Amino acid sequence: MKRFYLLSLLMVVAVVAAPAFAAGPSATKAVTSEADGISTLAVTVSSADDEVFAVTISGANLDDIRAPKGWVGVASGNHVVFRTGENPVKSGNSLRFRLLTTEPSASLTVSFQGKDEPIGQPMNL
State the total domains in the chain: 1
- For residue 52, the model assigns a pLDDT of 92
Which structural domain, as residue segments, surrounds residue 74?
24-124
18 falls within a domain: no
pTM for the model: 0.75
What is the percent of the chain with per-residue pLDDT over 90, rounded to a whole number?
A: 34
DSSP code string of the chain: -HHHHHHHHHHHHHHHHHHHH----EEEEEEEE-TTS-EEEEEEEE-SSSPB-EEEEESSPEEEEEPPTT-EEEEETTEEEEE-SS--B-TT-EEEEEEEES-TT---EEEEE-SSSEEEEEEE-
Give residue 20's pLDDT band: very low, low, confident or very high (50, 70, 90).
very low
119 falls within a domain: yes
17 falls within a domain: no
Q: What is the CATH number of the domain that holds 49?
A: 2.60.40.2230
